[in-house]
Every structure is written in structure tokens, then in C-alpha cells.
Structure 1
Amino acid sequence: MKHLKTSVVALLASASFATAATACDITLKSSDTHPEGYPTVAAVQYMGELLEERSNGRICVEVFHSAQLGEEKDTIEQTQLGVIDLNRVSLGPFNNIIEETKVFSLPYIFRGTDHMHKVVDGEVGESILNEFSNHGLVGLAYYDGGSRSFYNSKKPITSIEDVEGLKFRVMQSDVFVDMVSALGGNATPLPYGEVYSSIQTGVIDGAENNWPSFESSGHYEVAGYYTLDQHLIVPEVLVMSKKSWDGLAPDDQELIRDAAKDSVPVMRELWAAREKASEEKVRAAGVEIVEDVDKTPFINAMDPVYEKHVKSDKLKDLVQKIRAVE
């Protein structure tokens, strides 16, 4: 891993880590809502480096970061249509499209990051990736999305009672909406790019996300209270348009799938470093961090969410398998 980390740093520092590809036979257009330098963006760029090298310069990846191609809901549709070739998206927006992805978005389904890694790297993760093919997409790999916690501009949340009445932005996912409602808050689905101004103007009181997103978005500038309730550990997913995929030779499909898988450990290295740096920056800015929160009432409040969204035998089986992973 030390050698891997050194190689990644060298690649990230090299001038060849460009987002534009000009001399390739096949250039895959990739979308990400996060900014340049964010771990997911850098990981897809690294995947592109691998592809270019392994295809002898035939296949390249052009990464459009910072929501240049649109917010996640829009880019998912564009990827299904083949307008975008590759897309890094949180699993949340897929919850209303691919039923099986709901299990990874269930509150407190994962005991921690290590547990999540074992699940997505195993049988359950692979079975859910396979479901994307029924929706115009090819699931390639999972990236880290960190643990998500609540932040707001009004007050520190030290107990479940403090959530009552607060307006929180959530992703366009029924699971996320019902999670906030179960805690007594008011959920407002909004595109990621609208969160800063919405908190600033009082349209919403806050949102929920991980350390790097809280920091890189600047949300910590307008939301001075962050409670580490860690209600979600939702993986990110890298998908490809099935239309684009079907137009490739089997050997090139294999190259892409392997490069995507090989970018995962790199992404995890970068994520761990970025998470630490973002936390330090947020703390230095004076945000009030609530760390000693009793999660038990939060967990117990999720029973109605599970009852509503885990109805089919298939989903119940997936939940059982996730909980059984040691």
C-alpha cells in the first residue's frame, strides 16, 4: 500500500493528469459534481491514466468535474441515454430508480467504514452492481462517500429532540426524506449546488454530508454546527452508459472494468487523507462539533424507515446478508 500511495501521489503531481484527451481513438466523457482534486475526481482521472497506458493510447477519459455537465439527477439520465459515458454518483439518487440500491442508503445499515468495504467488495456489492444493467447502465465500482452527519445554521444538535422542526436538504431519495421525517425534521430535496445559498438565505436550516463535502462545498461557512451522528455511510458508485459499453469490443470492456476496479484502492487512500484534511480545516474555522451524541434514539427511530422501504423478500435478504458480514 505504501508503494501504491507513492505512485498515486506521483501521478497526481504529474502534468499528464489532464482532464482533456485529444489523441485517443476512444474518449470517454465522465461526469462528477465534486471539484477538481476531490478524491472521486482524482480516482476517475487515475482510471483514465490506467486505461490510456493499458490500451496503448487508444482509450482516454475526459473528466468534467464541478457539475459542469449538470447535477446528479440530470447526469444519470444523460448517462442512460449515452450522452455521458461515465458517471460518478452517490447511490442516493439511484434509490428511486434501482430498488436494490436502497439497502446501502438505509440509516445505520453499516457498522462502520470497514464493514461497508467488506460488503461492497463482496457478494452483496457485486449483486447490486449487476442490477444497473437493467436500467441502461453498467455498474463498474464503488467509491467511498464517508459517513454522513447533520449540520445546520441554527443550533447544536445534541439529541434527537434537537432535530424537531429543522429543515434539512436531502438528496432526491425517498429513503433520505423518510429518514429525516422519522427524526422529526423537515426534509427538502434539493440539488447539491443549491445548498449553500439555500442555507444562507434561510430556505433550509442545514443539510447532511461527510467531512470533505461539508468543507469543499463551503457549507461550513454558513452552517456553524456539525453533529457526528453518522446516520449514513452511503457508497459512491462509478457507472457507465450501457449504450457506450455495448459499442465497445469485449477486450476494451474488460480493460475498462479492470481499470475501474484498480482505481478503488487509490480512491480509498485519497479519501482517508482528504477526510482528515477537511476535518482539520472545518475545526480550525470554528465550527462547533458535537461528537458525544447518543446514537441509540436515532437508530431506534429508523424502524418505520426499514418497515416502509424493506418490503420485498429480496431486500430483506440483502439486509440480512449485510448484517451478517463480519
Structure 2
Amino acid sequence: MIPTRRHLLHTGLIGAGAAALSGCGTATGTGSGGPRLLHAADVHPADYPTVTAVKWMGEELGRLTDGRLGIRSFPSGQLGNEDDSIGLARFQAIDICRVAAAALNNAFPETSLLCLPYVFRSVEHMRAVVDGDIGTQLLNVFEGRGLVGLAYYDAAPRSVYNVRRPVYEPADMKGLKIRAPQSDIFLDTVRAMGANPTPLTFGAVFSSLQTHLIDGAENNWPSYQSSRQFEVARYWSDTRHLHSPDALLISKASMDALTPADRDLVRDVARRSVPLMRAEWDKREADARAAVIAAGTQVNEVDLAAFARAVEPVNAKYTAGAGLKPLYEQITAAA
């Protein structure tokens, strides 16, 4: 049976206890002796780099197991928003989800380190950190709450765009209602930059820009382009305030249901999908930027030092507790 969003929300979240007791899981073929297809959810469209990377994982698993393992993807938010995906994976209503690190901050405070403004100075800095020991530590924080971290994918840098005017310094943000993901750290960052933060799901942004419920948002070039938000918010200001990655997660129950050898295989294939995703991401980012500029987006540079100063209290706030200051200092030192 192919899961629908309504079916998964009902059987996965409401009936999670029964599913866990029966051990049936969601993967097609589980217990039948047939191919095991892990179900993967993403809010992005089918040609987005995160989705194609997971598709490659499924093909590679199929190749290495003679079709015994595979992945069936449900892109474009078919199974709900990112918060839905996290809940569905935790309760094994789906197997795999790709979500922005921001969606994890409130439940997993350690991931806040990945979302602090200007903690990463460049894409290369972010990649070096998540590929190293710190990245490994931050992949291991999920297992206590029903998830297993597989990899971090690129999703940055993020900048501000709006329907009103160019932004050059924090003072230009005053009075703008800027959408931010439903994460305390993102909301505080937008507020510190001078705007009024408005928490909305990604899928609600386009219509909210059209109706002027919000004046703008912040995101990366590919998301700005693929969502067609550039059609209504034509002022892009290159704040590059965040280099936060995405997290690729699998249900711990789904992982535990695999043999030890298959668990190792899934981890290895996920790890090897990262450079493939990054190569596609770099191309997609360049293509998206060129496409929206050709369509009329006005791009301007900003006073990066002024924005970095404005958000210093945010970094101080989120590194004060949970023993995060030492890791924060290691990350900034790696720049």
C-alpha cells in the first residue's frame, strides 16, 4: 500500500504504539520476503538536490543488494511539512526524512550550533565542520528520541529577500515582516537583524508574500527559485547570515529492524551520497541565481560586519547553556 499523508498521519502518529508493538514498520515488503522499500519524505520537488541524492541512495542500495533494499521517495511535501516528517519518522510511519536543521533546534538543542548566525563564515567552513568530529557528535544526538542521523546535506548560504526595498544594513530591516522557520533561534536571528519575525511553514510562504501577510523571508537561492517566491519578492539582499545544513534522518525503529550488515550499508550509502548532493547543489545554486536575476530579481551586497554585530547576542544566548560553548568555540576556530 502506498502511504498518503492522511493515512500516515492517522496510522503513524495516532496508531504509532500499535505499529511499534506489531513491528510491522512502513517499508514495502517488510515481513513478506519481498523487496524492502524504505519510504522517504521531503518538502522539496523531485528534481531538488536533496531529493535526487536520496533517490541515488535507493538505486545504490538496490544495486548492492540485488534489489533486496531500496527507497521510495515522496517529494514536494506529499506527506506534510518538515515538522510532520520528523514526527512520522520518529514513530516509524515513514522511514527517512530530510529536514532543515532549524526544524530540529527546539527538540535537539545541540543542533542550534549549526544554525547560529555567522557561526560559519563560508560554505567550505561549514562542510569542514560537519564532515569532521563535531559533525559526527551532532549526528549522534538524535537516537534518544527515535531517530538516527545519517548525514548532513548542504542548504546554504541563506539571505534575506522581500517585496519592499533593498536592504543594506540592519536599520533597513525595520518594519519588515520576515518569515522564519518555526525555530526559536531563527526567530531571534531575524529579530536581532531588525525585522519582525513571522513563523510560517515553507509551503505557506508564497501565498503569504502574495497577500502581504509577510513582506519577505530568508532562504537559499535554490529554494527561493524552486518555490517561485522570486516572482513576488524581487529584492534579494546578500546577507549570507546562515550556513545551516539539512539533516538526513532515519527512524530508529526502521534502522533497528535492519540486520547489522544492512544498517552499515545504509550508513555507508548515505555518507557517499553527500559529495554527489554537494556537486548537484553547487550547480543548482548557480543556475537558480542566474535564473532569478534574469527574471528581474534585484541583488545587492550588504554591510556584513554590521549584521554580524547585530546578531552577537543571539550567539551568546544559545551557547550559554547545555554545554555548547566549547563546541561553538571549536567551530569558530575552524574558520
TM-score, normalisation: structure 1: 0.92
- Alignment of structure 1 residues 1-326 onto 2, 5 Å: 25-291=35-301, 293-312=302-321, 314-326=323-335
SS of match in other structure, 2:303: coil
Q: Which amino acid aligns with 1:191?
A: T
C-alpha contact (below 8 Å) 1:52/1:58 kept by paired residues: yes
Deviation, 1:314, is 2.1
User: Mean alpha-carbon deviation: is it higher for 129-138 or for 305-314?
Assistant: 305-314
2:79 alignment partner, SS class:
coil
Q: Secondary structure at the match of 1:131?
A: coil
Work out whether residues 21 and 62 of structure 1, in 8 Å CA contact, stay in contact via their aligned partners in 2. no
Correspondence for 1:6 = none
Q: Is the 8 A contact 1:91 1:234 kept in 2?
A: yes
Is residue 24–residue 60 contact of structure 1 (8 Å, CA) maintained in 2? no
Query: AA paired with 1:320?
Result: E
- Report the CA distance between 1:24 and its aligned residue: 5.2
Q: Report deviation, 1:307.
A: 2.2
Q: What are structure 1's unaligned runs of at least 5 residues?
A: 1-19
Cα distance in 2 between the residues matched to 1:307 and 1:122: 24
Counterparts of 1:160 and 1:137 in 2: how far apart (Å)?
38
Distance 2:127 2:148 in 1: 20
Aligned to 1:14: none
Q: CA RMSD in A?
A: 1.4
Deviation at 1:25, TM superposition (A): 2.0
How far off is 1:131 after superposition? 0.5
User: SS where residue 229 of structure 1 aligns?
Assistant: strand
CA drift of 1:313 comes to: 5.9
Task: List runs of 5+ in structure 2 lacking aligned partners.
Answer: 1-26
After the TM superposition, which of the residue ranges 216-225 and 153-162 deviates more from structure 2? 153-162
Contact 1:211–1:279 at 8 Å: present in 2 too?
yes
> How many residues get paired?
306
Q: Give the CA deviation at 1:21.
A: 8.2
CA distance in 1, matches of 2:89, 2:45: 20
Cα deviation for residue 312 of structure 1 reads 2.2
Question: Is residue 118–residue 308 contact of structure 2 (8 Å, CA) maintained in 1?
Answer: yes
Given that residues 41 and 97 in structure 2 are in contact (C-alpha distance below 8 angstroms), is that contact kept between their aligned partners in structure 1?
yes
- Cα separation, partners in 2 of 1:313 and 1:79, compared to 1, 3 Å: closer
Alpha-carbon displacement from aligned partner over 1:283-309 (angstroms, at most 9, x marks no partner): 000111012x11111101112112221
Closer/same/farther in 2, CA of residues 185 and 24 from structure 1, 3 Å limit = farther
1:160 to partner: Cα distance = 1.1
DSSP 3-state at the match of 1:62: strand
The residue type paired with residue 152 of structure 2 is Y
Counterpart-to-counterpart distance in 2, 1:70 and 1:226 = 28
Question: Which letter maps to 1:321?
Answer: Q
Hey, what does 1:10 align to over in structure 2? none
Q: Structure 1 residue 245: deviation in Å?
A: 0.8
Amino acid in structure 1 at the alignment position of 2:163: S
| 8 A contact 2:170–2:310 mirrored in 1 | no
Residue aligning to 1:4: none
Q: For residues 156 and 306 of structure 1, what CA distance do their matches in structure 2 show?
A: 26
Partner residue, 1:3: none
Structure 2 length normalisation: TM-score?
Answer: 0.89
Deviation at 1:28? 0.2
Whichever residue aligns with residue 268 of structure 1, its letter is R
Q: Deviations over 1:208-250 (max 9, x none)?
A: 0011000000000010100001000010110000011111110
Matched-pair contact (CA < 8 Å) for 1:26–1:59: yes
**In structure 2, the residue corresponding to 1:89 is in which secondary structure?**
strand
Q: Among the aligned pairs, what percent are the same residue?
A: 46
Q: Which amino acid aligns with 2:278?
A: R
